[in-house]
A and B are shown apart, each in its own frame.
Chain A
Amino acid sequence: MNSFGQHLKKFLVENVRDYAMFVALIAIMIVFQVLSGGTFLSPDNITNLINQTGYLAVLSIGVTLVIVIRHIDLSIGFLSGFLGAVAANLMMFYHFNALAAILVVLLLGALAGLLNGSLVAYLGIPSFIATLAGWMAYRGALLLATRGMGTIIIRNETFNAIGNGFIPDIPGLENFLPGYHKLTLFLGIIAVVAIIWSSISNRRRQIQRGIEPIPVDMFILEMIFITVGLLYITLQIAAYNGISWTLLIVLAVTMIYYFITERTVLGRHIYAVGGNPEAAQLSGIDVKKIILIVFMSMGMLAGLSGVLFASRLKSATTTAGTMFELYAIAGAYIGGVSAAGGVGKVVNSLIGAFVMQTLQNGMLLLGVDVSLQYIILGVVLAIAVIFDVATRSRVR
Chain B
Amino acid sequence: MDTPLIELRNISKSFGEVQVLFDVNMKVKEGEIHCLVGENGAGKSTLMKILSGVYPYGQYSGEILIEGHPVQFHSIRDSEKAGISIIYQELSLVPEMMVYENIFLSNEIRKGLVVDTEKEIEEARRLLNMVKADYISPTAKVRNLSVSMQQLVEIAKALSSKPKALILDEPTSALSELESENLLNLLKELKERGVTIILISHRLKEVLQVADSITVLRDGRSVAYFDRDEQEVDEATIIRYMVGREITNLYPPKIAEPTDEVVFELKNWTVINPATGRYLAKDVNLRIQRGEIVGLFGLIGAGRTELGLGIFGNPYGYVVQGEMFVEGRQVSPRSPAEAIKNGIFYLTEDRKERGLILIETIRKNIALANLKAVSRGQIVDDEREIQVANNFVSRLSIKAPNVEAKISTLSGGTQQKVLVAKGLFTEPKVLILDEPTRGIDVGAKFEIYTLMRELAKEGKAILLISSELPEILGMSDRIYVMGRGRITGELSAEQADQETVMKYAID
Contacts and interface: CB of A to CB of B under 8 A. Distances in A.
B113 interface: no
Contact of B353 (A266, A272, A278): A278
Interface in A249-287: 263-269, 271-272, 275-276, 278-286
Contact of A266 (B312, B339, B378): B378
Contacts of A272: 357, 360, 364, 368
Nearest to B312: A282
11 contacts: A209-B403, A264-B379, A266-B378, A268-B364, A269-B371, A272-B364, A272-B368, A279-B357, A284-B340, A286-B337, A396-B408
Majority SS of interface residues in chain A?
helix
A315 B335 CA distance: 48
Given A210-B402, A265-B372, A268-B364, A282 B354 contact: yes
Interface residues of B, number: 35
Contacts of A280: 357, 368
Contact of A284 (B339, B378, B403, B404): B339
Contacts of A396: 408
B358 A275 contact: yes
Contact of A276 (B358, B380, B382): B358
A265 B380 contact: yes
A263 B380 CA distance: 6
B371 A265 contact: yes
B312 A275 contact: no
A279 B340 contact: no
Given A264-B378, A264-B380, A282 B355 contact: yes
Given A265-B371, A284-B340, A209 B354 contact: no
Residue among A205, A271, A275, A284 with max Cβ neighbours from chain B (10 Å): A284
A269 B357 CA distance: 11
A188 interface: no
A377 interface: no
A343 interface: yes
A268 B379 CA distance: 10
A372 interface: no
A161 B387 CA distance: 49
B422 interface: yes
Closest 10 CB pairs of A and B: A275-B357, A284-B337, A283-B369, A278-B354, A284-B336, A276-B357, A284-B340, A283-B368, A264-B378, A265-B371
Contacts of B313: 284
- Most B C-beta atoms less than 10 A away, residue of A211, A267, A278: A278
A250 B372 CA distance: 30
A237 B369 CA distance: 46
A160 B255 CA distance: 75
B52 interface: no
A78 B402 CA distance: 47
Interface in B203-241: none
A279 B355 contact: yes
Interface in A143-188: none
A180 B437 CA distance: 68
A342 interface: yes
Nearest to B351: A279
Contacts of A286: 335, 337
Nearest to A262: B380
A339 B336 CA distance: 27
A165 to B, nearest CB: 34
Nearest to B333: A284
Contacts of A285: 336-337, 368
B103 interface: no
Interface string A75-90: 0000000000000000
Nearest to A211: B404
Given A263-B379, A265-B380, 20 more contacts: A209-B402, A263-B380, A265-B372, A266-B378, A268-B371, A275-B357, A275-B358, A275-B360, A276-B353, A276-B354, A279-B356, A280-B357, A281-B315, A282-B336, A282-B348, A284-B337, A285-B336, A286-B335, A342-B359, A343-B359
A284 B368 CA distance: 9
B386 interface: yes
